[in-house]
Amino acid sequence: MSARRVAPVLAVDDLRVAIGPTPVVRGVSFAVEPGQTLGIVGESGSGKTMTVLAATGLLDLPGAVVHGSSVLGAPLVGEAGGASTGATAGAGSGGTAGAGAGDGTTQLVGASARTLRRVHGDRIGFVFQDPSTSLNPILTLGRQISESLEAHRGLSGRKARDRAFDLLEAVGIPEPASRLDAYPHQLSGGQRQRVMIAVALACDPALLVADEPTTALDVTTQAQIVELVRELQHRLGTAVVWISHDLGLIGQVADEVTVLRGGEQVERRPVLDLVDRPEHPYTRELLAARPLLGQHRPAPAPASAEPLLTVEGLDVRFAVASPAGRTHVHALDDVSFVLRRGHTLGVVGESGSGKSTIANVLTGLVRPQGGRADLAGVDVLQQRGKALKALRRRIAMVFQDPFSSLNTRSTVGTSVSEPLVVHGLAGGRGGARARVAELLRLVDLPAAWADRYPHELSGGQRQRVSIARALALEPELVILDESTASLDVSIQARVLELLARLQAELGLTYLFIAHDLAVVERVSHDVLVLQRGRVVEHRPAADLFADPREDYTRALLAAIPPVRPRAAADRPA
C-alpha cells in the first residue's frame, strides 16, 4: 500500500483484566503495525484470548473489569469506512473513555456499544478457532459475507453478492458461484475456515485477529490457510494478531512474539531472536515441547509379536444429497492393514481421508459395505448381542476433545467407573472406588480427584481421565482419535510420554489417528497414510519418514512447520 501510518494499527498499554477479585491479565502491552503479524503464544489459561478480547472490546463476562489502554489507529486517508471512525468512546468497565483528542484514533477499552459496533467487522475482522460454531448454520455463505457489507458499506443486492463472490474466489473456495447459496455443513473444515476469513476481510479491515484458526486442521490445510493470510496481508497491508499455543506455527507467521503465562507477559521480542535466544525459562519450555521430525522415536516393540488386528478390503460408502440428486461418498476404498500386538500404528491423512471412519467401523458406529476386521480371531464386523458386548471390552477409544467426551454432570470417579458398571465388573461400591483410584494413579492423577468434576480440571488432566476410563476394562486395543490435537504442546508432550509408559508397562496396542506427522513419528512403529479413502503407504515408520515413496506423503511432510522461523529465510547469512 502506498499510504503509510505514523502510528500502530493497534497499541495496547498496561492492559489488566480481573474477573471479580481474580486478576487474569496483568499489565500486558504490545503494538502491531500495518502489514505486521504479532504472535501471542502460551498454554491454555495463559490469558491469550482474554487479552485480545479485552483489547478489542469483545470481553463480555459477568464481573469482568478492564483497565488500561487499547487504541485503534486512525484510518488511512481514503480508507473505506474511515470517515465514520474515531467517534468518542463511551465510559465502560474501568477503562479510559474517549477517542484520541480528535486525532481519529479510537480508545477500545471502555468504548460504547455504538463505537464497538462501528469498528467490529469494519476496521477489525475476526477469525476464531472453530468455524462450525462461528458460522450461522441456517444462513447461506453469500448471506453471511453480505451482512457486514450491508452494515458497514451500505451494499445490498447484486453489489453485495458480487463482492461475496470475489471474496470466496480470493480465499480459494472452488466453484465460488455455486457456493454462494451453499450452507456451512456442505463444506469441509478447511473450506469453512476460508469462508470465515472471507467474512473477516469483507470490509478490508485494518486489523485481523486470528484466534487459533488452524488448530483443528490437518497440516496441509493449515499450511494453505497460513499462506492465504500472508498473501492477503501482503496485498491489503492488513495488520494481524495471531493467537496460538504452537510456537512452531507462530514461527511461520509472526514478525514479533508476545509470550504469556498466567496472564503475565514474560517475553516480547522479534520471532527469530526469541527462537534463537529465548530469555525466559517458560519460553524455553515451550520451544523444547514442540514435536519435531527426526528428534523422537518410540521405544522398540517386540519384533516377533503376532498380529492383533487384521483389516482386509474395508469398504465404506455414505449416501449424501447434492444439487444433482442423491450420490455416494466413498469414505474407505479397499483399505487393508495389519496391527501387531504391543505396537502402535499411526494413521495419517488430510481431513476427509477416512481416518476416523476406520475408528468408527472398529467400534461399531459405522457399518461397512464390505471387508473384514479380525481381532485375534474374532471378526469385529459380524458380532451381535452378547458377543458384541464382550468384544467392546477388548476395544477402547479416546476421543479428541476430553471435555465433550466426559459427562460434565458426573464426577471423575463416576465417568471412570462407568465401563465397569456397564459390564458388571464394578464389584460393589468399594470395589469400583478402589479400581478408580488404581486407574487414576496409573495416569498420574491423585486418587482423591475421583470426586472432582471435569470443569475443575485442565485439558491435559481431562485427557488423562479419558485414558483412565479407556483402560478400565483392560482392553487389548486402544484407539486414539486425534487424542492430543487440542492440547497445548507442553501438555501434549506429557500425554504422549504417559501413553508410551502405559504401552511399555501394560503391553497396550494403539491405533493412533492424527494429522500431525511429527507426533505420529514420535509414537508409531508403523504408519498408514490415507488419501480420499485409499491407502497410499503402509510401512514401518522409520522407513517411511526416512524415504517417503509417494508424492502425497512427501506433501504431508513438507507441510510441517520447520524448526527455523520463516524470518530466518529472509535474513542474510
Specify whether 346 is located in the same domain as 377. yes
| Percentage of the residues of the chain whose pLDDT score is greater than 70 | 92
The label of the residue with cell 484510518 reads 75
Q: In the listed set 262, 289, 316, which residue is the last one of a domain according to the structure?
A: 289
**Residue 520, domain member (yes or no):** yes
Specify whether 89 is located in the same domain as 158. no
**Range of the structural domain that residue 509 is part of:** 307-394+475-558
Q: In which element (H, E) is residue 359 found?
A: helix 355-362
CA distance 554 to 304: 30
- Write down the pLDDT at residue 85: 35
The reported pTM is: 0.79
Which one of 31-45, 120-134, 206-220 scores highest in mean pLDDT? 31-45
In the chain, how many domains are there?
3
What are the pLDDT digits (tens) for 58-81?
998 888 899 999 999 887 655 554
Specify whether 114 is located in the same domain as 221. yes
On the question of pLDDT at 215 being above 90, the answer is no
CATH number reported for the structural domain that contains residue 357 in this entry: 3.40.50.300
Neighbours of 519 (CB within 10 A): 23
Cα 133-138-142 angle, rounded to 5 deg: 95
Distances (CA, A) of 292 to 122, 252, 285, 549, 560: 39, 14, 14, 21, 9
Report the pLDDT averaged over residues 329-356: 91
**Residue 236, domain member (yes or no):** yes
Specify whether 187 is located in the same domain as 242. no
**Residue 565, domain member (yes or no):** no
Neighbours of 264 (CB within 10 A): 16
**Residue 301, domain member (yes or no):** no
- Write down the pLDDT at residue 390: 87
Report the pLDDT averaged over residues 509-516: 91
Specify whether 356 is located in the same domain as 237. no
Specify whether 140 is located in the same domain as 247. no
Cα 524-476-362 angle, rounded to 5 deg: 80
**Mean pLDDT for the chain overall:** 85
Q: List % helix, strand, coil for the chain (3-state, nearest 5).
A: 40, 25, 40
**Residue 344, domain member (yes or no):** yes
Q: DSSP states of 311-352 as a string?
A: EEEEEEEEEEEETTEEEEEEEEEEEEEEEETT-EEEEE-STT
**Residue 567, domain member (yes or no):** no
